[in-house]
Chain A
Amino acid sequence: MSLSHPAAFGAYSGTGHANGETKPRQHVLDLDDFLPSEIASVLENTRAMKEVLKRDIKKVPTLRGRVVVTLFYEASTRTRISFEEAGKVLSADVINMGGSGSSVEKGESLLNTGLTLQAMGVDILVVRHPHAGAPNFLARHLPKVSIINAGDGLHAHPTQALLDLFTVQEKLGSLAGLKIVIVGDVLHSRVARSAMWGFAKMGAKVTLCGPGTLLPLDLLRPNGHLPEGHCLASVKVDTSLDRAIEGADVVMALRLQSERQDSGFLPSMREYIRRWQVTESRVASAKPNALVMHPGPMNEGIEISSGLAHGDSSVIEEQVANGVAVRMALLYQVSTVVSQASGRLSIEQ
């Protein structure tokens, strides 16, 4: 079964740069508008950033004088802290802003908050928002600011996807041809949506797995086709984890929120654990060197067994460590465009 419709995840065309030219990037909203070559250069820069993080003096002057604001309307530990660390290692001035304790509590709209920050001369705005499309909305209305999506609703989480790509590439050498199984609450997962785009664009074969109620409906419909050669045509859907995991190179478990049982998506948590928990015995039928991943925060004993989460095949801690380097690479990637957009410099060598 393949994806039924290109708009299955509300995505616009992934073939927008057919001529192979990469324009300078102002925003990072999702991976669907990234060329494979652009993803490859972000991953290469991530490796360089990782080297910076291993130095005695973890500081480079790249973003000196730039202001980065993290605007988080949702709770977050790793994404927010890693963006803050990434900005500070690159010498940017990082300001954290949350929904509570700011004018958002007084009812200020997203647009007005954005306009205020733009007027203050903010260069890069890192946004997390419970509503899908909030970063895209800001990108349309704030011409002088670079927007980086740190997770919006059920839509996208591109920085998490890129760090997953980097972790897999670093461990297994290459992404092309790998079998990636993403298992769990795919329906409510922005991580799965972005990771699917990223892995598919780099030539990996993605299988989405989980109970039928937690898979996007349009993925289950067999009729309808993607345009010829669309990268998502390689994405498969399977409701049986035991079948999907056979020969997998990577098994990524997604977080299952306990509210899902109350709202009727699952008959019982015990059934979910029995059929879809990623366990040692299940991973035994994957490839011998298969990686176990989780975007965090984990519910150990529900979507993943404790032994596996902290076992040898787990790269969950590496994922977190790579998160800082990936976000440094993205801040570097958008940093140049920022100064052009704000009209500070226009000379080209």
Chain B
Amino acid sequence: MTPVSATQTLARIPVRVLFCAATRPYAEYPIAKSGMHQVLMAEHQIMNPDDIRRALVRVAHEILEHNRGIEDLVIVGIQTRGVTLAHRLSRNIEEYEGNRVPVAELDISLYRDDLQHRSRPVIKPTSFPVDIRDKKVVLVDDVLYTGRTIRAAMDAMNDFGRPRQVQLAILLDRGHRELPIRADYIGKNIPTSLEEQVKVRLTEIDGVDEVSILRRED
């Protein structure tokens, strides 16, 4: 990768990103790490709030259809955005079935096999308000990528009991699996390249509902 001068870099930024810089807090400004150089990324929205809402409505219906109701069902959200999505799915299901599906929250930082690579994330709460033994568990996360998070989540869940069955619901499948893991319910399939980054923003955490791809501009 050849280093680029500041003026060259600036010339490459699409107007949209420059506009983002003015309206978003500095910390959110899209920058990708690439060796020693920081490269500016262009951001393209691929799901708007309505797309996300519709995808979650469909996934909620698929869960109900596949499980023939909500009996013995527990939704387990993976921190942080998986938890938000889990609560939304549970609310959707309550709307159609009249009954709430219990939601558990799971943080998998202590189970990662790639902890050494990463800076230490702050561990978010794990709480299992219901026993998952012999239940049908629907794991929920925002993006399915390498599959390592899901593997860690299944390990973590086993410490709380042995579910009868584990299903996986995700908002976004971007491919590039490194483990034999697939999702049962998928909000949207998006073919991506390894250089791209996928950013999911949810109102409860980020103040806005959207999914975008960050792509290096050359």
Contacts and interface: CB of A to CB of B under 8 A. Distances in A.
A62 B114 CA distance: 10
Interface residues of A, number: 28
Contacts of B109: 48, 62
A90 B114 CA distance: 15
Contact of B117 (A44, A57, A61, A349): A349
B88 to A, nearest CB: 24
A62 B117 contact: no
B9 to A, nearest CB: 21
A211 B61 CA distance: 72
B18 interface: no
Interface in A303-349: 332-333, 335-336, 339-340, 344-345, 347-349
Interface stretch (B44-52, B120-128, B204-212): B120-128
A336 B119 contact: yes
B120 A333 contact: yes
Contacts of A90: 110
Interface residues of B, number: 22
A48 B111 contact: no
A45 B122 contact: yes
B116 A41 contact: no
Contacts of A347: 117
B66 interface: no
B122 A41 contact: yes
A51 B33 CA distance: 34
Contacts of B122: 41, 44-45
Contact of A61 (B114, B123, B124, B155): B155
B43 interface: no
A5 interface: no
B123 A44 contact: yes
Nearest to B152: A61
Interface in A190-237: none
A90 B111 CA distance: 10
A198 to B, nearest CB: 18
Interface in A16-62: 24, 41, 44-45, 47-49, 51-52, 55-57, 59-62
Nearest to B115: A336
Interface of A: 24, 41, 44-45, 47-49, 51-52, 55-57, 59-62, 90, 332-333, 335-336, 339-340, 344-345, 347-349
Interface of B: 33, 107, 109-111, 114-120, 122-127, 155-156, 159-160
Given A48-B126, A49-B123, A339-B116, 10 more contacts: A41-B122, A44-B123, A51-B127, A56-B160, A90-B110, A332-B110, A333-B120, A335-B115, A336-B115, A345-B116
